[in-house]
Chains A and B, each alone.
Chain A
C-alpha cells in the first residue's frame, strides 16, 4: 500500500507554503500602507492585488480542508488549542476583505477603510505568526485530544514569531510592489526593502537560536553528524539570499527582489519542516499517529488530485492576465 499519509502531508505542506508566499505579499501591502501617505499611491498598491488576493486565500482553505480530510485528529486538536488566535485572525481578515470593497466606494470615510485595511492586515499576519510560534512550541495532547489551557498559545516566543511573520510579509509585499509599480513609489520601496531584510534576519536568528535551546530533540536533529553537513547550507543560503535581495535593490532590478524573497521564505519553511518531521503535532504526535483511515485518505486524495490542477491553472491565468504594472489613475474612479 502506498503511504497516503506522506502524500497528504506533502499536499498540505505545499498548500501552506503557497499560501504563505502568495497571501504573504498581499497581506504585506496592508502592512506597508502606513509607509505610504499619498492616497493615489495607496490606490495603486491596493489595485496591484485587487484581482488576486482572494484567490490567494484559497490555499489556506485547501490546507485546512486537507487537514480535516486526512488528519482529522490534528484538525480537532490544533484548532482547539489555537482557538482564540485563529478566530481573531479570521475577524481581522473580514475587516481587511471588506476594505477592498468599501474603500474605493467611500470618500468621506475612506480613512476609516484605510485603517481597517492596515489593522486587518497587520493583525492577521501577526496572529498567523503567533499560531506558528505556538505550534513550534508544542501542543499538549492526551488521548488524541487537546489537554492544555485556553491561553497556552500566548508566550513571549509566540509573540516574537508573530512580529517575525509581520516583517516577512512586509518584505514579500515590498518585493511584489517593486515589481508592479513604478517611479516615485517604486523608488521609495527600493529604499525600504534592505531595512526589512535586516529586520527579517534578526528574527530568523532569534527563532533559530531559541528553538534548539528550548527543544533538545530539534537541537539533536540539526547539530548531530552527519545531518549537520546536509543542513548547514540552510543558514548559509539564507545569508546569501538576503545579500542578493539588498544588492538587487541597489541595482534597481524589478523582478529579482521578489524572487529572492520567495527563496528566503522557502528556506525558512524548509528549516521549519526539518525541525518538525515526522511530527504533525509537536512534540508527541507523528503523521502516522494522526492519520485518517486509508479509505478516507484515498477518497479525498482523488478529489484533491482533480481540484488542485484546476486551482493552479486558474491562479496562473489570473496572474498572467494582470501581469502588467499598475499605474496611478488605473483606479476604481
Chain B
C-alpha cells in the first residue's frame, strides 16, 4: 500500500530508468540498461514486462510516472541511481544466496570442506559496506535536486559556511578516516593471521575490567595481545 505513492516520485523513475509515463500497458522492470540523460532513453535495456507496475503499484498495468513528466532541472541523475540501486540489490541477492548455500552445506555436512564456498565467503567480506554505500548513493543522488522533496532545492539550503572551510574539513576527515580505518584493518588482519585461540587455554571465571563480565568493544573482545614478541613484557 505504501508503495503506491512511490509511483509518483522522480527518484523512483530515475532508479528504474523509466522515461515515459505508462498509461494503457504495464511498466516493464529493467534488469539492466544504461539510462542516458541527454537522449532521455534507457539504452541496451533488458526488461521483464509488467513487473515494474506490479512492484510499484501492485497491479499488472498500474501507472508509474516517467522522468519525462518532470522538468529537466527537476530530474535526478538516472545513470547513477539506476546502477547504484542495482549494485545494492544485486549484493543483497548474493548475500541471500550465501546464506542459503551455507545452510545447505551445513545440512549435507560439507560446510568446512567446500573450498569454493570459503572463497565466496571471503570475497563477500566487504559486500555489506559496498551495499550500504550504494544504497546511500541511491537515496542521496535520487532525491536531488531537492533537499525537501518538491519544496526546497539543495542549492537553497546551503549553510553560510564558506566552501574553503567545508573543503578543508572534508580533506581532514578523509585523512583521519584513512588513518583510523587503515590501522583498524591492519590490527584485524594481524589478529586473523594469528588464528583462533582455543577456549580451554584461558580461565573463564576471571572478573574485573578487561576480562569476562565486562563491556567489550570489537577489538577488546579478543583477549590477546597483537605483538607476539612483546607479550611477556606487557602483562
Known: A50-B209, A104-B210, A105-B219. A146 touches B226 (CB 8 A): no
Interface members, chain A 102-141 (any B CB < 8 Å): 102, 104-108
Given A84-B169, A87-B169, A105-B226, verify A326-B209 contact (CB < 8 Å).
yes
Considering the complex, which residues of chain A in the window 292-333 have a beta carbon less than 8 Å from any beta carbon of chain B?
Answer: 322, 326, 330-333
Q: Are A102 and B219 in contact (CB under 8 A)?
A: yes
Determine whether A233 belongs to the interface, using a CB cutoff of 8 Å to chain B. Answer: no
Set of chain A residues within 8 Å of B5, measured between Cβ atoms? none
Give the complex CA separation of A271 and B159 in angstroms.
32
Interface residue? B196 (CB, 8 A)? no
CA distance A266 to B164 in the complex (A): 38
Contacts of A220 in B (CB 8 A): none
Flag whether B108 is at the interface (Cβ < 8 A): no
Whether the pair A150, B187 counts as a contact (CB closer than 8 A) is no
B177 to chain A, nearest CB (A): 9
How would residues 152 to 194 of chain B score, 1 for a CB under 8 Å from any chain A CB and 0 otherwise?
A: 0000000111101100010011001000100110010000000
Point out the residues of chain B lying under 8 angstroms from A331, CB to CB: 209-210
Q: In the complex where A51-B214, A80-B159, A84-B165 touch, is A102 in contact with B183 (Cβ < 8 A)?
A: yes
Tell me if A147 counts as interface (CB < 8 A to partner B). Answer: yes
At the interface, yes or no: A253 with Cβ under 8 Å from chain B?
A: no
Interface of B is mostly: loop
Q: Does B3 contact A (CB under 8 A)?
A: no
Q: Mark A72-91, 1 if CB is under 8 A from B, else 0.
A: 00001001100110011001
B59 interface hit (Cβ, 8 Å): no
Query: Which one of A13-21, A62-70, A93-101 is at the B interface?
Result: A93-101
Subset of 16 A-B contacts with CB under 8 Å: A80-B159, A83-B161, A91-B176, A101-B218, A101-B219, A101-B220, A102-B187, A102-B219, A105-B226, A106-B226, A107-B226, A107-B231, A145-B160, A330-B209, A331-B209, A332-B220
Where the two chains meet, the residues of A that have a C-beta atom closer than 8 Å to any C-beta of B are 47, 50-51, 76, 79-80, 83-84, 87-88, 91, 94-95, 98, 100-102, 104-108, 145-147, 150, 322, 326, 330-333
Query: Which B residues form the contact surface with A (CB < 8 A)?
Result: 159-162, 164-165, 169, 172-173, 176, 180, 183-184, 187, 208-210, 214-215, 217-220, 223-227, 230-231, 233-235
